[in-house]
Amino acid sequence: MQKTVDSADAYVIDGKLALPYSYFAGRVGSTFITALRDSRQILGVRCEKCHKVFVPPRQTCEKCMADLRENWVTVENTGEVINFTVVRYSDRHLPREAPYILAMIKLDGADTPMVHILDEVKSEDVKAGMRVEAVYSENTTSTILDIDHFKPVS
Amino acid sequence: MGYRKKNRHVGIVGVGETKFSSHREDVNQAEMIHEAVRQALDDANLTMDAVDCVVHGNMELFEMIHQPDLWHTLGSGSYGKEAFRLTTGGTTGGTLACSGDNLAASGMYDVVMAIGFEKLQEGHTTGGITNMADPLWARKLQSGALTDSTAVKLIEEFGADRARRAAMTYRIIMDKHACLNPNSHRAFGLEWDQMDELMETSPPLIGDLRLIHMCSQSDGACVVIFASEEKAREITDTPVWVRDHITVHREETLNLCNNYYPTDTTHRFAAEKLYERNGITDPLEYFDVFEMYDPSAWWGTDWLKEFFLLAGDAHLKLVEDKEIMIDGKMPINPSGGVIAANPIGATALVRVAEAAKQIRGDAGPHQIQKPVNHALASAFGGTMWTVLTMLEKELNW
Amino acid sequence: MSEYHGIHIEDIFNSMKARFRPEGAAGVNHTFGYDISEEGKWRLTVKDGDMSLEKADDLSSCDVVMETDGATFVGLNIGKVDAMSALTAGKLKIRGDVNTFGITSKIFQKYVPPGAETTQEQELIALKQTISVDQRFATGPVMGKFLQGLKNKTILAIKCPSCGRLQSPPREACAICRVRNDEWVEIGPKGEMRMMEYCYYASPDPLTGETRETPYGAIGILLDGCQGEEVFWHLLRPDQLDRVQMGIVMGDRVRHGTRLRPVWAKNRTGSVFDIQYFEIDE
């Protein structure tokens, strides 16, 4: 459609959106976080039917819908890099200053990889299949960042 | 208008509702939803394999997370299935029911699961609602989801004392119903002799709208499973048939700038159209129960007039004569309604689920004792948006 | 002394000293009254990081007083009763500032019934976050022209070429007739008050966390030149809330509302608050 309006008076104003919220981790999520924080143990849940150990844990198996709440298993603090990427921009919502490495890490004893930060290694030296281990943070935030990062197994 | 008869009939074959409460720290969102999903599947005696499509809905921004339907895959069972997300404000639950009906009627899917949820405790309702308003104007002026305009209108028309008593009578009736419903979030056990005191002492919010009149902020989820006629008959002996639904809204009020003072309500418009095309001349006679989306006792009282196309003071009399009680002529919200529990994205779907349970006869302690053959459920959004759903026991129209 | 939920009221009061948290009471200087029907009255004094509790006959000197019954009081302390619900239902009343009473939840550790100390509840993690993003809004030509008008102390409306209705703030189209609006009309600036929301409760502004002072009046004004539903939304001068009357049209019954005029801001920037508020035109 042809534009017939006069835009002379149009202008732009700045605004801001600030929205507070809480997130309740629930019993399953809280068990995972408190074990990580208090005993430096990484927990998962096993689906007997699908023969899978999920880390981080979830209440139900996504495939067969079985209730997994009681099927706790402890997995190792070590695992292997399945895949990785390098974050090359900085933004206030990101956990680190760029550049840093984000890796999919499958822990020993788990069947599902989880995303975490890989550090103490140059990005050009990272390879799929690389052995890594968890480094716990000194200060707790009651989040997944109670593992500060993963580093290559020495 | 663009209305056509459905391609095929659709029945409700399963419903699930969590208990509604002020907070649920013990479960995350996906886990809370899963409680209702599990209940609905058990109710229909189905597994997730039988579900072809999942429709998921809640308020935009209320838990402040992006794409909640993706977060919730673990609880909703939508892994590997066709899925949609709906977010139409207060009417979300009603729109979920419409889409469940439409998707099954279309022939695209035989079994459709509709999921509505809200965890209001996790978010910031006012923040969400404020961001609905035009940032250049109304965002600075609006008063959230609260308004006194209905009270002003009723008081102007019927006098302060009669109007206030009617609203409080409505409120106490809803509380009495809520006390029967084990899923209620708020059931106070109000007594009739508290009426005068409550009218005086309940903290005022806006004008004559007091805290006691207003709905709660709840956490909870609701699931309704829709199936094509053929499937519905295979799945259950007691399908509840969705006869028709209608959705009407006034785009005009959407930016909350203009028409502060609307006179034609979307409720009456929707009701007139729905009854006309289904040959219903006296809705008050026809329906056996009405589950109304009633955000406050003032609105609940006033809207009876719109939904039943009444004139004069007939709606006030229904309340004053307690004909809207569970054993009255036209039971309104045997569940306790929205004032008893308001997990917003689920709220309107709860109306449909409760209406379906009343028709099946297994609503529980708040089951209407007389036979229920015809039920009506409504949904409401603050921008003047109405959804009505008609349910039937027999497929005979 | 009666028992509620298996707990004596005296237990809750007697354990207050042991549950007192000086760090939570830092800077608090208040007297709190507890009036529990058929049970008695207690006065709690919190001052200089210390507390004292006494039975009392008269609580009129207290800063805030809670009035409730035994079952509700015990229920509140053990988490069986939600304070907001009790307040709503009239089972709990607070004389004085409700928020002041809320401080007590920081001053005392939670009451644990005798015998329940050993059953440890699982710690449930709740993360608190705030999303904060910068936004930009384009006024567009229509809203832009209207806002520029306010700078010059004029209130503009836009007119539908088909049905003739006026919209202010203006919109590009008439949604009823589905045509583009094309004619500008100056309206007001005086008018008649049609509707007022007399707000006792203000939602905090999610951008600033600030809460508007209450009570305030959000009003709909039928500005001169407008008719029917063509009302203009703004605020009323705060000290005039009780001096105005709403106009109404109900069938044949017409009652005119109070005449109002805008009070313009000194520095006008093209915003809603270029008009400070409307006041009585006298």
Q: Which residue of B has its CA nearest to C230?
A: B259
Tell me if B386 is assigned to some domain.
yes
pLDDT score recorded for residue C2: 75
3 state SS of B64: coil
The CATH number corresponding to C3-107 among 3.30.1050.10, 3.40.630.30, 3.90.920.10, 3.20.20.70 equals 3.30.1050.10
Q: Give Rg (Cα) of chain B.
A: 20
Distance from CA of A124 to the nearest CA of B (A): 33
Note whether B181 and B260 are same-domain residues: yes
b/e code C216-235 from CB counts within 10 Å (16+ = b):
bbbbbbbbeebeebbbbbbb
Tell me if B134 is assigned to some domain.
no
Distance from CA of B250 to the nearest CA of C (A): 9
Q: With cut-offs at 50, 70 and 90, classify the pLDDT of residue A15.
A: confident
Tell me if B298 is assigned to some domain.
yes
- Residue B164: which domain range? 142-214+243-392
Tokens of B360: 């099946």
Note whether B318 and B378 are same-domain residues: yes
The more confident residue out of B128 and C49 is C49
Sign of CA dihedral C93, C97, C101, C102: positive
- Long-range contacts at B310-315 (CB < 8 A, ≥ 24 apart): B310/B284, B313/B158
* Distance separating alpha carbons of residues B8 and B98, to the nearest angstrom: 14
Tens-digit pLDDT profile for residues C259-270: 999 999 999 999
Note whether B201 and B87 are same-domain residues: no
Picking from A19, A20, A62, the nearest residue to B74 by CB comes out as: A62
φ and ψ at residue C90, rounded to 5 degrees: 80, 10
Note whether B191 and B335 are same-domain residues: yes
3 state SS of B305: helix
**pLDDT (mean) for C7-16:** 87
Which has the closest alpha carbon to C275: C184, C151, C171, C139? C151
Picking from C133, C139, C144, the nearest residue to A17 by CB comes out as: C133
Q: With cut-offs at 50, 70 and 90, classify the pLDDT of residue C206.
A: low
Which has the closest alpha carbon to C14: C64, C51, C67? C51
Spell out the domain ranges in chain A. 26-152
Note whether B297 and B311 are same-domain residues: yes
Tell me if B302 is assigned to some domain.
yes
Number of domains making up chain B: 2
* Distance separating alpha carbons of residues C101 and C139, to the nearest angstrom: 45
Tell me if B155 is assigned to some domain.
yes
Assign 3-state DSSP to chain B and report helix, strand, coil percentages, each to 5: 40, 20, 40
* Distance separating alpha carbons of residues B119 and B32, to the nearest angstrom: 9
Q: What is the DSSP letter of C246?
A: -
Q: Which residue of A has its CA nearest to B75?
A: A60
To which H or E segment does residue B231 belong?
A: helix B229-235
Angle at B357 between CA B306 and CA B172, to 5 degrees: 55
* Distance separating alpha carbons of residues B150 and C234, to the nearest angstrom: 19
* Distance separating alpha carbons of residues B111 and B228, to the nearest angstrom: 7
Strand partners, A19: C131
Distance from CA of B228 to the nearest CA of C (A): 37
pLDDT score recorded for residue A81: 98
Per-residue pLDDT of chain B (397 residues; tens, 9 = 90+): 567 788 999 999 999 999 999 889 899 999 999 999 999 999 999 999 999 999 999 998 888 888 999 999 989 999 999 999 999 999 999 999 999 999 999 999 999 999 999 999 898 787 777 777 778 887 777 766 678 888 988 999 999 999 999 999 999 999 999 999 999 999 999 999 999 999 988 888 899 999 999 998 999 999 999 999 999 999 999 999 999 999 998 766 544 444 444 556 889 999 999 999 999 999 999 999 999 999 999 999 999 999 999 999 999 999 999 999 999 999 999 999 999 999 999 999 999 999 999 999 999 999 999 999 999 999 998 778 899 999 999 999 8
Report CA-CA distances (Å) from B265 to A126, B382, B384, C160: 64, 12, 7, 22
Note whether B368 and B267 are same-domain residues: yes
Q: Is C173 on the interface with B (CB under 8 A)?
A: no
Q: Is C54 on the interface with B (CB under 8 A)?
A: no
Q: What percent of chain C has pLDDT over 90?
A: 42
Picking from A9, A19, A23, the nearest residue to C127 by CB comes out as: A23
Note whether B46 and B68 are same-domain residues: yes
* Distance separating alpha carbons of residues B85 and B96, to the nearest angstrom: 9
Q: How many CB atoms lie within 10 A of CB A120?
A: 12
Q: What is the DSSP letter of C162?
A: T
Residue type, A20: P
Tens-digit pLDDT profile for residues C103-160: 888 888 888 877 665 556 789 998 888 877 888 899 999 999 999 999 999 999 999 9
Picking from C91, C218, C220, the nearest residue to B143 by CB comes out as: C218
ipTM of predicted complex:
0.88
Tell me if B4 is assigned to some domain.
no
Say which residues have a Cβ less than 8 Å from residue B60's Cβ, sequence separation at least 6: B87, B89, B128
CATH number at residue B274: 3.40.47.10
Q: Measured in whole angstroms, how far is the alpha carbon of residue C136 from the centre of its chain?
A: 28
